[in-house]
A and B are shown apart, each in its own frame.
Chain A
C-alpha cells in the first residue's frame, strides 16, 4: 500500500517514515503531502514554548494525558537544536514522556532544527500535516523559547501555550516584548516555588497593558504533581472557542498559510539557485559585477528571480513528461 493511503488509515509507521522523508526534502513525499493537503486542517495545532528549564516536556506530558482523558488523540513534535558544528544533536524530550510510548492514541516525534538556527524548519510544518493526516485531534509542538523558534511557532499554531517559571525577575522584562504577543494562554509552572504569585502578577500586569481583544489567561501549575493541568487545558479550549466564535480562526489560518507560501517560495528560490555549480558560478559572477559597481543589485535580483522561475518551469515540465 502507498504511504499516503497508509497514513490516512492511521498507520504510525507510515507517519514516522513520511516525517523522515519530508525532513530530507524528498520530492515524492512532498508530492504525497500536496495531494493529501485537502484532508489536513482537522487537527488543532498548539505551540508550547518558554524559557529553558521551565519544565516544558513534563508539562507537555501532562497536557497530553489530560487531552487523552478527554478522549482526544494527540501528536507531539518536540524540537531541539542541532549543533551547527557537527550537524548532530541529542534529542531528549521523550525522557519525560516515556509512559506515553505505549498509548495508541499518541504519537511523539523528536526533531532537530538541522541548521534552521533555532527556528522551526519547513519539516516541522510538514510533520504537523502528517500527524493531522494520521488522525491526531491535537498536534502539540514543543520548542525551547530561545531566539527564533518562539516567534516561528506562531506561524504554525492555532494557539500558543507559554510556559513560565517563578522568579524570572529581570528576565521577564527582557523577554516580555517577544512573549507577550505570542502567548494565548500562560502557565506558571513549578508554582510551588517561591515567587509564583509575584511572577503571575507581573505577567498579568503586562498583559493588561496590551489591551487585546483576547486577554490571555494566566494560571499556575506544578506539572510534576499534575496540578493545574486541567485548568490550563480548559483555557486552551476557551481560546479555541474564542477563535471559532470570531473570525479569528479563519484569519489565523489564512495568515499562517500566507507565511507558509512565502516561506516555501523563498526556500525554493534559494534551493534552485544553489542546486548546481552552474547556478552557483553564475551567481558568483553576478556578485562580482555588483561588487565592482558594474551592475546594481536591484536589477540583478530581478534578473535572478526571472531566471530561476524559467528554470523551475522547465524542470517541472520535464518531470511531468518523465512520470
Chain B
C-alpha cells in the first residue's frame, strides 16, 4: 500500500510539474519542437518511475550473469577482467601480415584478427579479371594454402586465438587454418578462434556473398557440425549487426535483423539434426556502437534480453550458455566525418563508453581517419588508447551495468525490445530472415532509414558537427596509408609458380570429389580440407562450388 501511495503522490506532483512547466514554456520555449534519439525514436521531456509502472526488476533485468542477462553475461563483468581490446587490421600480403602478427605477439597480445582482401572474401584468385585493382587493398590476399602457411609462419597456432573476418568462403579459410596447424603438429582440437561466417548480413548489407541462400546455409551448418566434433573450441559464427547499422539501419533494426539472422542459423542447424545446446554456446554476435550513448546502451541490453528469451522459450535451450548473447563491438564507421577528422576521436570515445556500459565482450575502436582511407599507425594507437582510458580512468568499468534502473535507459530498453520484437514477428511471418531477404524486405527497411537520415541532415534537422554545422575551411590531410600497387602482380606470380609446382592431377581429383559431394547431402568440410591440402586455390574451390550451387542474385528493392 505504501508503494501505491508513493506512486500516487508522484503522479500528482508530476501533473503539477507539467502544468508549471507548460506555463514557463510560453516564455522559454525548448530548443526544438520534437526531441528524438539517434535512431529517430521520440524522447520525452522527463522520465520518472511512472514510466516504468509495470516494470518487474526480477523478470526484466535479473542479476548480472543470470537469465535473461539484461545486465550482462558475467556476474562480475569488468571487475574480473576488461573486455578484449581487439583491433582489426589488414595488410596487403601474407608476408607483411605475418611480420605484424609476430610484432603484436611479442608485445603480449594473444589474439590475432585477420582482414582479407575483397577477392579472397568473394572467392576469386588474385589473377581473376574481377580482382584487378582490388588485390591486397582492404586486407591480406590469400589464394592458396601456400599464402596461409606464410601468414602464420612461426606463429604457434595452439597458443593464439585467431579471428577471421571471412564469410562466404569461411569453410575454405577455416580448412586452410586447420591444414597449417596440422603441418605445425597442432591438432584441430587445440585451435581457438572465430570465423565471421554470417552470410545473411552479406546479402543484407555487406555484399561479399557468393552462393545462393540455401547452399550457403548448408555450408554454415556443415561448419557447425564439423567443428562441434573436430574443432570444439572454435567460435563458428559471429552474427553481425555491425554492417546492417553501417548500411543505415536504426538501432531497433540493427537488433531485430541481427537476431532474426541468428534465429535462421539456429533453425537451420536444428533442421540439420543438431542439438541446440551442442552449437548455440558457440554462437557469438557483433554489434555497432553509435553516438546516441544511452540509446546504444539500451540497445545492447535489449538484445541480450531478447536473445535469452528466444533461446529458452522458442528453441528450448537448456544450457544457460546457449541463452547468453556474447558480442564483439566496433565503433560506428559511418558516424565519422571526413571533415575535421580530429573530432572523430571524441565520437569514438562516446561510442566506446556505449559499448562498455552496454557490456561488450570485446571492442574494436575505429581510427579518426577511417572516413578518408586506411588508418595510419598513429591514429590506430589513439583509437586503442581511447579504450584504455575508458577502462582505467573513467570508472564505468568498476561495477556491472551501472545504468540499470535509470528511468530513461530502462524505458528505452523496453521500447527497443518491443520494436525489435515487432520486426522479428513480421519476419517470422514472412518465413524467416532468408525469405525476408529474398523479398528485399530487410534491405528496403534499412534503405528507408538511411535515406530518411540523409534527408534529416540535408534539412539540418539533425546536426553533425563539422558536416552541416560548425564547418571550417581545412586543408587536405596528408600522409594517408597507401597499399603498394605491385601486390597484385606479386600474387599473380605466386599463383603461376604454384600451378607449376603442385600435383595438378591430385588437385583436379580432389575438386571432382568435392563437386560430386556438393550435389549430395554430405558435409563438405572434409572434401574442402582435402582439396586445400593439395594446394587447390581458393578460386578453384569456390569455382567448383559455383558450378554446382550457382551464384546469389542480389535482391534490390529501391
Q: Mark A residues whose CB is within 8 Å of B.
A: 53, 58, 90, 92, 95-96, 224-226
Chain A residues with CB under 8 A of B550 = 224-226
B212 and chain A: residue at smallest CB distance: A224
Assembled-state Cα–Cα distance A58/B553 (Å): 8
Interface centre among A53, A58, A224 (most CB of B within 10 A): A224
Chain A residues with CB under 8 A of B2 = none
* 12 additional A-B residue pairs with CB within 8 Å, beyond A58-B553, A95-B556, A96-B554: A90-B558, A92-B556, A92-B558, A95-B553, A95-B554, A96-B553, A224-B212, A224-B550, A224-B553, A225-B212, A225-B550, A226-B550
Assembled-state Cα–Cα distance A225/B552 (Å): 10
Q: Quick one: which of A53, A95, A96 contacts B439, CB cutoff 8 A?
A: A53
Assembled-state Cα–Cα distance A226/B550 (Å): 8
Chain A residues with CB under 8 A of B439 = 53
How far, in Å, is A29 (CB) from chain B's closest CB? 30
Interface centre among B439, B550, B553, B558 (most CB of A within 10 A): B553
Assembled-state Cα–Cα distance A95/B212 (Å): 16
How far, in Å, is B553 (CB) from chain A's closest CB? 5
How far, in Å, is B496 (CB) from chain A's closest CB? 26
User: What 0/1 pattern do residues 504 to 531 of B give for CB contact below 8 A with A?
Assistant: 0000000000000000000000000000
Chain B residues with CB under 8 A of A95 = 553-554, 556
A-B contact count (CB 8 A): 16
B214 and chain A: residue at smallest CB distance: A192
Chain A residues with CB under 8 A of B558 = 90, 92
Chain B residues bordering chain A, tally (CB within 8 A) = 7
Chain B residues with CB under 8 A of A58 = 553
Assembled-state Cα–Cα distance A90/B447 (Å): 14
Chain B residues with CB under 8 A of A53 = 439
Would you list which residues of chain B between 47 and 104 have a CB under 8 Å from chain A?
A: none
B213 and chain A: residue at smallest CB distance: A224
User: What 0/1 pattern do residues 95 to 126 of B give for CB contact below 8 A with A?
Assistant: 00000000000000000000000000000000
Assembled-state Cα–Cα distance A95/B443 (Å): 15
Assembled-state Cα–Cα distance A53/B430 (Å): 14
Q: Mark B residues whose CB is within 8 Å of A.
A: 212, 439, 550, 553-554, 556, 558
Could you show 16 A-B contacts with beta carbons less than 8 Å apart? Answer: A53-B439, A58-B553, A90-B558, A92-B556, A92-B558, A95-B553, A95-B554, A95-B556, A96-B553, A96-B554, A224-B212, A224-B550, A224-B553, A225-B212, A225-B550, A226-B550
How far, in Å, is B270 (CB) from chain A's closest CB? 19
Chain A residues with CB under 8 A of B554 = 95-96
Chain B residues with CB under 8 A of A224 = 212, 550, 553
Assembled-state Cα–Cα distance A96/B550 (Å): 13
Assembled-state Cα–Cα distance A225/B550 (Å): 6
Pick the 9 closest A-B CB pairs, nearest first: A90-B558, A225-B550, A96-B553, A92-B556, A58-B553, A95-B556, A224-B550, A224-B553, A95-B554
B550 and chain A: residue at smallest CB distance: A225
How far, in Å, is A96 (CB) from chain B's closest CB? 5
How far, in Å, is A61 (CB) from chain B's closest CB? 9
Assembled-state Cα–Cα distance A304/B554 (Å): 52
B554 and chain A: residue at smallest CB distance: A95
Assembled-state Cα–Cα distance A53/B212 (Å): 16
Chain B residues with CB under 8 A of A226 = 550
A190 and chain B: residue at smallest CB distance: B438
A194 and chain B: residue at smallest CB distance: B431
Assembled-state Cα–Cα distance A53/B444 (Å): 14
How far, in Å, is A81 (CB) from chain B's closest CB? 12
How far, in Å, is A30 (CB) from chain B's closest CB? 32
Assembled-state Cα–Cα distance A225/B212 (Å): 9
Assembled-state Cα–Cα distance A308/B404 (Å): 79
A222 and chain B: residue at smallest CB distance: B550
A80 and chain B: residue at smallest CB distance: B558
How far, in Å, is B456 (CB) from chain A's closest CB? 19
How far, in Å, is B336 (CB) from chain A's closest CB? 28
Chain A residues with CB under 8 A of B553 = 58, 95-96, 224
Assembled-state Cα–Cα distance A225/B211 (Å): 11
Assembled-state Cα–Cα distance A224/B556 (Å): 15
A53 and chain B: residue at smallest CB distance: B439
How far, in Å, is B549 (CB) from chain A's closest CB? 8
Chain B residues with CB under 8 A of A96 = 553-554
Assembled-state Cα–Cα distance A96/B554 (Å): 7
Chain B residues with CB under 8 A of A225 = 212, 550
How far, in Å, is B166 (CB) from chain A's closest CB? 24
Assembled-state Cα–Cα distance A224/B550 (Å): 7
Assembled-state Cα–Cα distance A85/B24 (Å): 43
Assembled-state Cα–Cα distance A92/B554 (Å): 11
How far, in Å, is A237 (CB) from chain B's closest CB? 25
Chain B residues with CB under 8 A of A92 = 556, 558
Assembled-state Cα–Cα distance A53/B557 (Å): 10
How far, in Å, is B215 (CB) from chain A's closest CB? 10
Assembled-state Cα–Cα distance A90/B558 (Å): 7
Assembled-state Cα–Cα distance A96/B556 (Å): 10
A90 and chain B: residue at smallest CB distance: B558
How far, in Å, is A168 (CB) from chain B's closest CB? 14
A225 and chain B: residue at smallest CB distance: B550
How far, in Å, is A98 (CB) from chain B's closest CB? 9
How far, in Å, is A275 (CB) from chain B's closest CB? 35
Assembled-state Cα–Cα distance A58/B550 (Å): 12
Assembled-state Cα–Cα distance A95/B555 (Å): 9
How far, in Å, is A53 (CB) from chain B's closest CB? 6
Assembled-state Cα–Cα distance A53/B440 (Å): 9
Assembled-state Cα–Cα distance A53/B554 (Å): 13
Assembled-state Cα–Cα distance A95/B553 (Å): 8
How far, in Å, is A156 (CB) from chain B's closest CB? 26
How far, in Å, is A144 (CB) from chain B's closest CB? 12
How far, in Å, is A86 (CB) from chain B's closest CB? 14
How far, in Å, is A240 (CB) from chain B's closest CB? 28
Assembled-state Cα–Cα distance A65/B526 (Å): 35
Assembled-state Cα–Cα distance A224/B215 (Å): 12
Assembled-state Cα–Cα distance A159/B325 (Å): 56
Assembled-state Cα–Cα distance A92/B553 (Å): 13
How far, in Å, is B376 (CB) from chain A's closest CB? 36
Assembled-state Cα–Cα distance A53/B556 (Å): 11
How far, in Å, is A78 (CB) from chain B's closest CB? 14
Assembled-state Cα–Cα distance A90/B550 (Å): 27
How far, in Å, is B501 (CB) from chain A's closest CB? 33
Assembled-state Cα–Cα distance A224/B535 (Å): 30
Assembled-state Cα–Cα distance A95/B554 (Å): 7
B557 and chain A: residue at smallest CB distance: A92
A96 and chain B: residue at smallest CB distance: B553
Assembled-state Cα–Cα distance A60/B556 (Å): 17
Assembled-state Cα–Cα distance A224/B212 (Å): 8
Assembled-state Cα–Cα distance A58/B556 (Å): 12
Chain A residues with CB under 8 A of B556 = 92, 95
Assembled-state Cα–Cα distance A111/B139 (Å): 40
Assembled-state Cα–Cα distance A90/B440 (Å): 15
B549 and chain A: residue at smallest CB distance: A225
How far, in Å, is A26 (CB) from chain B's closest CB? 29
How far, in Å, is A25 (CB) from chain B's closest CB? 27
How far, in Å, is B3 (CB) from chain A's closest CB? 53
Assembled-state Cα–Cα distance A3/B558 (Å): 35
How far, in Å, is A116 (CB) from chain B's closest CB? 20
Assembled-state Cα–Cα distance A58/B439 (Å): 14
Assembled-state Cα–Cα distance A173/B550 (Å): 34
Chain A residues with CB under 8 A of B212 = 224-225
How far, in Å, is A321 (CB) from chain B's closest CB? 49
How far, in Å, is B370 (CB) from chain A's closest CB? 29
How far, in Å, is A37 (CB) from chain B's closest CB? 37
A58 and chain B: residue at smallest CB distance: B553
How far, in Å, is A224 (CB) from chain B's closest CB? 6
How far, in Å, is A146 (CB) from chain B's closest CB? 15
Assembled-state Cα–Cα distance A90/B451 (Å): 15
